[in-house]
Structure 1
Amino acid sequence: MARRTRNRSEIIARRFVSRQQPTRTQPFVERWRWIIQGQVQGVGFRASCSRRALDMGLKGWVRNLQDGSVEVQAEGPPIALAELRAWCEKGPLGAQVKRVKPCQMPVRGDDWFEVRY
């Protein structure tokens, strides 16, 4: 049986391919904005929301609005965002959430989660 000879370019190409690092895919990231209505100011909603988001590895911010509601913008993996939204629908002790209005936003690439004043 005859052995196939390889030319130099085939050998170099084979070495190059075998040394390549596997490509890493970026995790799927979304950004959502929620307006939480009800009795949500003065009950520690922003601080609790910030702690929850940081524990879940989310990035974004939370702030009070002048009409008495709270605005949350968060980005990260969809599963973590769903967990944060579920928490926002209940809120901390003392909060009475009546409605959560969702809106998907373009990803901005925030570096951390913060409370805005």
Structure 2
Amino acid sequence: MEQIRAVVHGVVQGVGFRYHTRQVAQQLGVEGFVRNRPDGTVEIVAQCSSDQLKSLLHWAHQGPAGARVTQVETEPYTGADRFDGFTIER
């Protein structure tokens, strides 16, 4: 299992990015959360296998219709030991 934190830049708030991220993550079996950040970016924290992570990050580089992703920064995440599903945090 890998844990990562990704920060998605661009036009990513107000376009359903969090809701679509949750849907994709649930379909892939990824655990973690997604939330809007005050600076206009979206943060994704994911716990999953390497293959699941590749699929989620591939999707995050595109986002839903209406989003314009300009950059996705990733780093290891060392927070929670285990998540229960994939949620939208406020």
| TM-score (norm: length of structure 1) | 0.74
Q: Does 1:58 align with 2:19?
A: no
Equivalent residue number for residue 56 of structure 2: 84
Q: How does 1:30-41 map to 2 (within 5 A)?
A: 30-41=2-13
Unaligned runs of 5+ in 2: none
Q: C-alpha displacement at 1:108, in angstroms?
A: 1.9
Distance 1:58 1:102 in 2: 16
Aligned-residue CA RMSD (Å): 0.9
Q: Does 1:49 align with 2:21?
A: yes
Distance 2:40 2:15 in 1: 12
Task: Summarize deviations over 1:17-60 as a string: whole Å, max 9, x none.
Answer: xxxxxxxxxxxx00111000000000000000000000000100
Structure 1 or 2: more helix by fraction? 1
Distance 2:81 2:70 in 1: 28
Q: Give the structure with higher Rg (CA).
A: 1
Q: C-alpha displacement at 1:82, in angstroms?
A: 0.6
Distance 2:30 2:61 in 1: 17
Q: Which stretches of structure 1, 4 residues or more, deviate above 6 A after TM superposition?
A: none
Structure 1 or 2: more strand by fraction? 2
Q: C-alpha displacement at 1:80, in angstroms?
A: 0.4
Equivalent residue number for residue 110 of structure 1: 83
